[in-house]
Structure 1
Amino acid sequence: MEENYKLAKWLSGEMTDAELKEFQAEADYQLYEKIKNYSSQLETPNFDGEKVLSNVIAAKNKTPKVIDLKPNWFLRIAAVLVIGLGLLFTFNTFSSSNEVALNGKQTTFLLPDNSEVTLNSGSEIEYKKWNWDENRNLNLDGEAYFKVAKGKKFEVNTTLGKVAVLGTQFNVKARNNRFDVTCFEGRVKVNYKNQEVVLTKGKTVSFENDVKIIEQTVSDSKPLWTSNEMLFEKEKLVNVLEEIQRQYDITIDATKVNSEQLFSGKIPSNNIDVALQSLTSIYHLKYSKSTNSKYVIEEIK
């Protein structure tokens, strides 16, 4: 009603300047102006201005026919939600899970069957939660200590070899071309290239460049790296230095020394000066610190 009153007042020229300015700012003003101008140009003998105005007002106020689309839109939204939830379920169920231990860090986590895994520095594990109890299979890049819950066959795959067990505790390390497996409880079957070895409690085996280099007995009840010590057995110096870099998250420049030399022994993983002193003293080498995270190893002249 208020809109109709303003329109009539405008047509009769009774608006104040303020009312006219406000009316001209409305969205429909241009339409009214065109109708007014067009009407003023018509030359009919019996032109009824009030009738024209009434028709215009009636046309403006006429309620348009609306098709109710709510049911269709509701179905569409419901379909999108169902599809979205389905995709989310599929992604969470079938996608791979990853666990990572950055350099200088160790991380422990549980698998779906409560098997416990401790990842050493610079290592990663990938596995799928879907149907885990029937297919306990994971991929390892680096080194990890496993406490496997009893159940169906448990497999650890690496780029160098595979380890299969039922329920036991063991350590797997796959770095560069060297593959080490130690059994601390139960039995494990190790597959490396075309070779197969079954390890029992306290046994360890190492392969490098397609050759079995170590098969012996150990007295430790768990990997020493879980207690801030690194154990090496006939390991190339280059591999030892790489492991030190992972444990301490540092950089070591040893380009001026013979990195193919072999090392056997223990090195602490919680004191960098003791670690480097223990290593360099054996080979008549010296080390120096160039920055907070970079060290240089060279021969003593």
Structure 2
Amino acid sequence: MNREDLIKKWLDNNLNSQEQQAFEALDDYNALTKLDRFAKGFSAPEFDSEATFKNIVAATNSSKKSTNWITYATKIAAMLVISFGFYFLFYNTSTEYQTDYAEKTAFTLPDNSAVSLNAQSQLSFNKKNWNTKRDVNLTGEAYFKVEKGSTFNVITQAGTITVLGTQFNVKERSNYFEVTCYEGSVKVTHPKKTIVLKPGDSFVVLNNEIINKNTNNTAPSWIKNTSEFKSVPLQQVINELEIQYNITINTKNIDTNKLFTGKFTHTNLEVALQSVTIPLSLKYSKNNNTISLTRE
């Protein structure tokens, strides 16, 4: 196999053992691997091996007479810097917000729509075409106050929420999907059902089963550092405790399908644990960041 084919297969991570030995025997092997480590410092979403192959071959062929690998490696590095810079400047227009455990954040979108992002959540959108396409991608939970304008879509793995201008909350966690409308109207498109929510309406999917609920609240409780639940399996409450406090809860020998109605605070772990365990006649013990639940 010739040199150019070896380089191309190397870029595609497609060398067999014999081809790998032949590639390592190339006189510019060290230069190519150093360049590879340099290029991996960039984080472009896609990598065009064909285009990169042509650039590398062109650059290295033009430098065959040079015995110093730095000369042509520098040329290739410069081309990569320019290429990646052009990509990020003109094409990578995605904006992302992300929260960790026990963390919340609030921000405004390009149209001044307000978003509050709950713990362990992620939201992204394309700012380049925002004026004509108001789409956001959400994982986790967020509360929206949307300015009137073109259609506004919140896209989750569980379903899509469509509005023109309103206030609503979207929660998409493991085996749980909930949309609650607080102002205006909200259209929810789910694989099992499409529904329009009015103020006070909630659309809930728990373990792939649809549940319709109502609320008298004017905003989600988590905005004020409280999680509220009404006839929700204990496992969902445990999941939220872990997210809000960055802890691990051991529920061995505990029926986590038992329904819980109540709330817990996000500002005091002891009070939060008591709020959940006492109504269910459970006890808890702590070992660093691990909480173990037992029956009384």
What TM-score, normalized to structure 2?
A: 0.69
**2:185: which partner in 1?**
187
Query: 8 Å contact 2:225–2:265 — kept in the other structure?
Result: yes
What fraction of aligned residue pairs are identical, expressed as a percent?
Answer: 39
**1:234: which partner in 2?**
231
Provide structure 1 residue ranges, at least 5 long, that are not aligned to the other structure.
1-78
**2:60: which partner in 1?**
none
Cα distance in 2 between the residues matched to 1:193 and 1:82: 44
Cα distance in 1 between the residues matched to 2:263 and 2:82: 58
What is the SS of the residue equivalent to 1:244? helix
**1:42: which partner in 2?**
none
Cα distance in 1 between the residues matched to 2:277 and 2:206: 24
Cα distance in 1 between the residues matched to 2:148 and 2:155: 19
Cα distance in 1 between the residues matched to 2:276 and 2:83: 59
Alpha-carbon deviation of 1:102? 0.7
Query: 8 Å contact 1:133–1:151 — kept in the other structure?
Result: no
**2:251: which partner in 1?**
254
Cα distance in 2 between the residues matched to 1:246 and 1:202: 26
What is the SS of the residue equivalent to 1:104? coil
Query: 8 Å contact 2:204–2:212 — kept in the other structure?
Result: yes
Alpha-carbon deviation of 1:235? 1.6
Give the counterpart of 1:170 among 164, 168, 171.
168
**1:119: which partner in 2?**
117
- Report the residue type matching 1:282 in the other structure: P
Change (3 A) 1:82 1:230: closer
Cα distance in 1 between the residues matched to 2:84 and 2:201: 51
Alpha-carbon deviation of 1:82? 8.0
- Higher Rg: 1
Change (3 A) 1:235 1:86: same
Cα deviations by residue, 1:39-80 (Å, 9 ceiling, x for unpaired): xxxxxxxxxxxxxxxxxxxxxxxxxxxxxxxxxxxxxxxx99
Cα distance in 1 between the residues matched to 2:252 and 2:124: 34
What TM-score, normalized to structure 1?
A: 0.68
Query: 8 Å contact 2:263–2:276 — kept in the other structure?
Result: no
Alpha-carbon deviation of 1:92? 4.2
Alpha-carbon deviation of 1:114? 1.3
Change (3 A) 1:167 1:237: same
Say yes or no: does 1:104 pair with 2:88: no
Say yes or no: does 1:145 pair with 2:143: yes
Alpha-carbon deviation of 1:273? 1.0
Residue-pair matches, total: 218
Query: 8 Å contact 1:170–1:183 — kept in the other structure?
Result: yes
Say yes or no: does 1:223 pair with 2:212: no
**1:282: which partner in 2?**
279
What is the SS of the residue equivalent to 1:146? strand
- Report the residue type matching 1:223 in the other structure: P
What is the SS of the residue equivalent to 2:90? helix
- Report the residue type matching 1:124 in the other structure: Q
Provide structure 2 residue ranges, at least 5 long, that are not aligned to the other structure.
1-78
Cα deviations by residue, 1:64-123 (Å, 9 ceiling, x for unpaired): xxxxxxxxxxxxxxx999867643421443xx2211111001011111111111110111
Query: 8 Å contact 1:137–1:156 — kept in the other structure?
Result: yes
Cα distance in 1 between the residues matched to 2:116 and 2:90: 28
- Report the residue type matching 1:87 in the other structure: Y
Query: 8 Å contact 2:262–2:276 — kept in the other structure?
Result: no
The within-5 A match list for 1:1-301 is: 86-93=86-93, 96-216=94-214, 218-291=215-288, 293-300=289-296
Change (3 A) 1:209 1:288: closer
Aligned CA RMSD, in angstroms, stands at: 1.9
Alpha-carbon deviation of 1:208? 2.0
Alpha-carbon deviation of 1:256? 2.5
- Report the residue type matching 1:191 in the other structure: T
